[in-house]
Amino acid sequence: MDHIEKLESRSIHILREAYSSFKDLCMLWSIGKDSTVMLRLAQKAFFGHVPFPLVHIDTCYKIKEMIEYRDRLAMLYDLDIIYGVNEKAIAEKMTFPDGNCSRIKCCELLKTQALTDTLNGTGVRYRFNHKTGKYERDTNTQPYTGVIVGVRADEEGSRSKERYFSPRNENNDWDIANQPPEFWNQYKTDFKPGTHVRIHPLLDWTEVDIWEYVRREGIPTVSLYYDKGDGKRYRSLGCWPCTTPIDSTAKNVDEIIEELRSGKLKNVAERSGRQQDKEDGGGLEDLRKGGYM
Amino acid sequence: MDELIRTTEKALNVKKREDMHIVIVGHVDHGKSTVIGRLLADNNMLPEGKIEQIKEKCRRNSKPFEYAFLLDALKDEQSQGITIDTARTFFTTEKRNYIILDAPGHVEFLKNMVTGAARAEAALMVVDANEGVMENSKRHGYLLSMLGVKQIAVLINKMDAVGYSKERFDDIKTEYGAFLESIGITASSFIPVSGMQGDNIVNSGAKNMPWYCGVTVMDQLEAFDSKGDNSRLPLRIPVQGVYKFTGNNDDRRIIAGTVETGVLNVGDEITFYPSGKTTVAKTIEMYNADVQTSAEAGSATGFTMSQQIYAMRGDIAVKSNEPQPKVSNGIIANVFWLGKEPLVKGKSYTVKLGTAKVKARIESVNKVLDASTLNNIQKSEIARNEVGECNISFERQIAFDIVDENPITSRFVLIDDYEICGGGIVTAEKAIGGGNITRDDALITRDERVLASKQRGHVLWLTGLSGSGKSTISGALERVLNSMGYSCYRLDGDNLRFGLNKDCDFTDRGRDENLRRAAEVARLFADAGLITICTFISPKGEQRANARACVGELGFSQVYVKASVEECARRDPKGLYKKAFEGSIKGFTGVDSPYDEPVDADIVIDTEETSVDGAVDMLLNYLSDNGIIY
């Protein structure tokens, strides 16, 4: 087995363990390249089916193409899609683009808070109705006890400390200093009522691996990742007010792989276009302890 | 939309570069993170500006710069100055992708060290030249051997702090080398290094240590062998699940699992343990890939069976013509313990071995090893961070291997209070209570009762001629469900007519009323959570439709147990056909009263072609596919 096949098998194994261990299981789908690769791995694990809902957190500031792409794939693959949103913060204009809070605070409200509430069922959930092609208020408010998330260890420091199965307590907190041991393909699948477990099938993948897999599998990706002639492309997708494209002329997957392998991006951090990481020394780590992905 | 999504052609140009996981271990403060930091820096693997960024941070906090800070990326960590978890660092050479796992040396964090070490193919053991061999140098060494890591290089670090003394290096080499020998490990190399100064990490340390002419750490990494090939061992696939997804008219039933060892080929005769049932692998299933006829060790695979026997998560699938695993309700095992509370004799834990999960009890603690001295101590418990041998019994039989025969499927973990608290290796089988407990005779255990909640109430309505096999099949099904821990109950004409339906006669009205009450009782039982197996001839389509309507949403499945009148008359278990043909019974279904063959049956079991076991497997598969048992 080559490098990518090994990664693929490990991820599939993890997804199947998650499916067997958690009755209320969902997968977070951010529309980005990583979680879309994860979606393909789920189709591999379950032989063309995705036997759990995909949850997307809509901040209302996502780039328009991302939402169109989400709904197109939902129909293409017959996916069970749910999205959640912090309607209160949006209504009260408590956002960074509205000028009423910092970037970090905005992330906390529109992402972390929305995610927490969507997962525990206290927030609104909208579910895609394949018959009408529209989203409808979901009547299921059961908390999710297993949440599959597409973080990678090579993204930044705090993610490199993650487990494949990572428990979160009642308050959604991540206790970094006291993580469960994980060995011999045995994971933390037992949990106290009220707590949940995050599952990370992509932990061992690197950015290049992701693109290699996109190429191998012919996975559809959002065109924002590619230069369309102005010498700019997005390397990491987020909300438009806080995400800037990088200088790059990579026009397709091959060129991105080439750029990552040997080109000028080799020594630039992947999330360098994500402004919220820069607000203080450990911006992302603090967000993650509170429940951010 | 075309502009929106770009797909790329399925072209492949993935370099066949191998992966290698390396764990770096050793006593706290012996300099593991510094060695890795230096390894990255001297290989030019750091992002631009990263060193400057950390240096700036150190300057602001008035701390001297250390390479370790590169890895100790978390705020928590830097404030305490020790690695609390297994950070992963990636780097690449022409030959390999390296994943370096930085395992914490502090004894408090042994579970993190184990987490890192368990997935490593080789280890770097760092020993401080100044402090020498410490308790965790030995404990980590022992755990590496237990976890299955056989390749170890010993880095004697901080040579700059002992004036690059050859004598000091030789002393430690002799002492630690002897220790490793005693636990069956021969070190790949002993390397004198300085993480701080960069001697013998990537660049030669000849300037400071002209007396050393061996490998550098980097040379040693490249010289390690990648993991032994598990494909050469007998086939073992712990079953993760049996999938039947019905969306888009998919009718495949797929056994899903990872090939831990061996090779699976289409056409292989496969036996599932502990049940011992046998079938043949018909196809290997994949999504978005070319057809494959084999799956090697390490691949997450799935296969269909040519005969639909009942298999479940927790089974181990093996080749019938290779060495078979053990099946037993007890083992002797070496255990390392990570739990806050000690492992004690007589206490119950949950064992996870492969995909099997079973309640277990510590029958005895045979010996405990002092990790720093390697002496055996007589104790009745194994405390945190200790290693010992114990006898463990299971509440039911499971399949496993002995470590000498197959290390992978000899490994298990112990769970206490939702947490993984220890790991173990099966060194011998040790059956409890004679060991001849077969599945059918086993008493229903507490674990199985817990399992019993993993079911939904349901009505299985078996219809068919007298003598078609309804009672035989339902009896066998009830027995198997019971032995698996599911709660079920059988309703038939006999047990209802003796009591509740005493007043129902054999007129059309009486028979309808008899079935109406049967359906009502079945509905109540299903509502109470039981799998309710009803066996009634119920000859009329209307009677069966009424029963289905009565049970409603709770779940009703009609099972047509099919056999010709001639065959049923030949079997005639109660002698009723004889009487009917003689005319002493009137209105006998199939003889002088009609039987409406069901057209809407959920399952049809033709008992002229299917054995009782085959019928039971069909029903178990049906219950499992429809989420009635899980």
* pLDDT tens for each residue of B210-259: 999 999 999 999 999 886 678 889 999 999 999 998 777 888 999 999 99
CATH number for the domain including A35?
A: 3.40.50.620
Does residue B478 surpass a pLDDT of 80? yes
Fold that domain B327-442 belongs to in CATH: Elongation Factor Tu (Ef-tu); domain 3 (2.40.30)
Q: Which of A151, A167, A175, A135 has the alpha carbon at shortest distance from A33?
A: A151
> Which member of B33, B393, B487, B538 is catalytic?
B538
Asked if the structure places residue A210 within a domain, the reply is no
Same domain, A75 and A35: yes
> Which of B7, B111, B241 is opposite residue A19, by nearest beta carbon?
B241
Handedness of CA B378, B383, B384, B388 (dihedral sign): positive
- Residue ranges in B206-310 assigned as alpha helix (H): 217-223
Please tell me which residue of chain A has the smallest CA distance to B16: A2
Cα–Cα distance between B344 and B612 in angstroms, integer?
45
Asked if the structure places residue A216 within a domain, the reply is no
Asked if residue B118 lies in contact with residue B422, where contact means CB atoms within 8 angstroms, the answer is no
Characterize the bridge pairing of strands A146-148 and A25-28: parallel
Q: What is the mean pLDDT of residues B268-296?
A: 94
Same domain, A145 and A256: no
Cα–Cα distance between B621 and B617 in angstroms, integer?
6
More confident residue, A2 or B190: B190
Interface residue of B79, B80, B143, B418 to substitute, partner A, most A CBs within 10 Å: B418
Fold that domain B450-625 belongs to in CATH: Rossmann fold (3.40.50)
User: Contacts by A93-101 with C-beta closer than 8 Å and gap 24+?
Assistant: A95/A61, A96/A241, A96/A242, A97/A61, A97/A241
* A16 contact residues in B (CB cutoff 8 A): 240-241, 256-257, 300
Q: What is the mean pLDDT of residues B372-401?
A: 87
Structural domain harbouring A41: 3-205+281-289
pLDDT of residue B15: 47
* A161 contact residues in B (CB cutoff 8 A): 74, 85-87
Q: CB-hemisphere CA count at 13 Å for B485?
A: 16
Same domain, A61 and A162: yes
CATH for B18-223 is 3.40.50.300
Domain boundaries, given as residue ranges, for chain B: 18-223, 231-319, 327-442, 450-625
Judge: B423–A13 Cβ closer than 8 Å, yes or no: no
Please count the structural domains in chain A: 2
Q: CB-hemisphere CA count at 13 Å for B588?
A: 20
Judge: A51–B245 Cβ closer than 8 Å, yes or no: yes
Going by pLDDT thresholds of 50, 70 and 90, the confidence category of residue B10 is very low
Residue B538 is a catalytic residue: yes
Asked if the structure places residue A259 within a domain, the reply is yes
* B296 contact residues in A (CB cutoff 8 A): 1
Please tell me which residue of chain B has the smallest CA distance to A179: B112
Is the minimum CB–CB distance between A159 and chain B shorter than 8 Å?
A: no
Q: What is the mean pLDDT of residues B58-70?
A: 76
Q: What is the mean pLDDT of residues B338-348?
A: 92
Asked if the structure places residue A217 within a domain, the reply is no
- B407: CB partners within 8 A, 6+ apart: B148, B401, B425
Is the minimum CB–CB distance between A285 and chain B shorter than 8 Å?
A: yes
Interface residue of A64, A130, A186, A191 to substitute, partner B, most B CBs within 10 Å: A186
Same domain, A199 and A227: no
Q: What is the mean pLDDT of residues B60-89?
A: 59
Choice among B238-242, B430-434, B521-525 with the minimum mean pLDDT:
B430-434
- B58 bridge partner residues: none
pLDDT of residue B450: 44
Same domain, A153 and A181: yes
Judge: A188–B420 Cβ closer than 8 Å, yes or no: yes
Same domain, A160 and A46: yes
Please tell me which residue of chain B has the smallest CA distance to A184: B118
State which amino acid sits at residue A195.
T
Asked if residue A164 lies in contact with residue A31, where contact means CB atoms within 8 angstroms, the answer is no
Same domain, A84 and A227: no
Asked if residue A6 lies in contact with residue B18, where contact means CB atoms within 8 angstroms, the answer is no
Judge: A184–B84 Cβ closer than 8 Å, yes or no: no
Asked if the structure places residue A160 within a domain, the reply is yes
Condensed to tens digits (0 to 9), the pLDDT of residues B318-334 reads 999 999 999 999 999 99
Tokens of B70: 């590169």
Percent of chain B at pLDDT > 70 equals: 88
Judge: A185–B258 Cβ closer than 8 Å, yes or no: yes
Interface residue of A130, A185, A195, A278 to substitute, partner B, most B CBs within 10 Å: A185
* A17 contact residues in B (CB cutoff 8 A): 240, 355
Same domain, A37 and A133: yes
Tell me how close the Cα of A47 comes to any Cα of chain B, in angstroms: 5
Same domain, A182 and A270: no
Judge: A9–B254 Cβ closer than 8 Å, yes or no: no
CB pairs under 8 A between A and B: 196
pLDDT of residue B21: 87
Condensed to tens digits (0 to 9), the pLDDT of residues B384-396 reads 888 889 999 998 8
Asked if the structure places residue A236 within a domain, the reply is yes
Please tell me which residue of chain B has the smallest CA distance to A212: B14
Judge: B115–A19 Cβ closer than 8 Å, yes or no: no
Asked if the structure places residue A243 within a domain, the reply is yes
ipTM exceeding 0.95? no
Q: CA-based Rg of chain B, rounded to a whole angstrom?
A: 33
Same domain, A233 and A144: no
pLDDT of residue B45: 74
Tell me how close the Cα of A144 comes to any Cα of chain B, in angstroms: 18
- Averaged pLDDT score across all residues of chain B: 86
Name the stretches of chain A with pLDDT < 50. Answer: 281
Fold that domain B231-319 belongs to in CATH: Elongation Factor Tu (Ef-tu); domain 3 (2.40.30)
Tokens of A69: 């792409």
Asked if residue B144 lies in contact with residue B171, where contact means CB atoms within 8 angstroms, the answer is no
- Tally Cβ neighbours within 10 Å of residue A143: 15
> Which of A3, A20, A183 is opposite residue B118, by nearest beta carbon?
A183
Same domain, A36 and A163: yes
Torsion of CA B517, B523, B529, B533, to 10 degrees: 60
- B271 bridge partner residues: B278, B318
Judge: B73–A158 Cβ closer than 8 Å, yes or no: yes
* A64 contact residues in B (CB cutoff 8 A): none
Going by pLDDT thresholds of 50, 70 and 90, the confidence category of residue B515 is very high
pLDDT of residue B149: 86
Interface residue of B1, B2, B3, B4 to substitute, partner A, most A CBs within 10 Å: B4
Judge: B74–A253 Cβ closer than 8 Å, yes or no: no
Cis status, amide bond into A51, omega within 30 of 0: no
Asked if residue A123 lies in contact with residue A141, where contact means CB atoms within 8 angstroms, the answer is no
Asked whether this chain's domains B18-223 and B327-442 adopt the same fold, the reply is: no
Please tell me which residue of chain B has the smallest CA distance to A280: B75
Which string of DSSP letters, residue by residue, matches B361-411?
EEEEEEEEE-TTT--EE--SEE-TT-EEEEEEEEEEEEEE--TTT-SGGGE
* B93 contact residues in A (CB cutoff 8 A): none
Cα–Cα distance between A7 and B19 in angstroms, integer?
10
Judge: A47–B112 Cβ closer than 8 Å, yes or no: no
Q: What is the mean pLDDT of residues B394-407?
A: 91
Cα–Cα distance between B317 and B311 in angstroms, integer?
9
Judge: B75–A281 Cβ closer than 8 Å, yes or no: yes
Asked if residue B503 lies in contact with residue B447, where contact means CB atoms within 8 angstroms, the answer is no
Judge: A43–B287 Cβ closer than 8 Å, yes or no: yes
Tell me how close the Cα of B598 comes to any Cα of chain A, in angstroms: 32
* A269 contact residues in B (CB cutoff 8 A): 47
Judge: B7–A219 Cβ closer than 8 Å, yes or no: yes
More confident residue, B609 or A241: B609
Tell me how close the Cα of B97 comes to any Cα of chain A, in angstroms: 8
Same domain, A75 and A190: yes
> Which of B6, B296, B350 is opposite residue A1, by nearest beta carbon?
B296
Asked if residue B121 lies in contact with residue B21, where contact means CB atoms within 8 angstroms, the answer is yes
Tell me how close the Cα of A91 comes to any Cα of chain B, in angstroms: 30
Please tell me which residue of chain B has the smallest CA distance to A158: B74
- A135 bridge partner residues: A128
Asked if the structure places residue A211 within a domain, the reply is no
> Which of B49, B76, B418 is opposite residue A177, by nearest beta carbon?
B76
> Which of B90, B115, B415 is opposite residue A190, by nearest beta carbon?
B415
Cα–Cα distance between B75 and A111 in angstroms, integer?
23
Tokens of A187: 């994971």
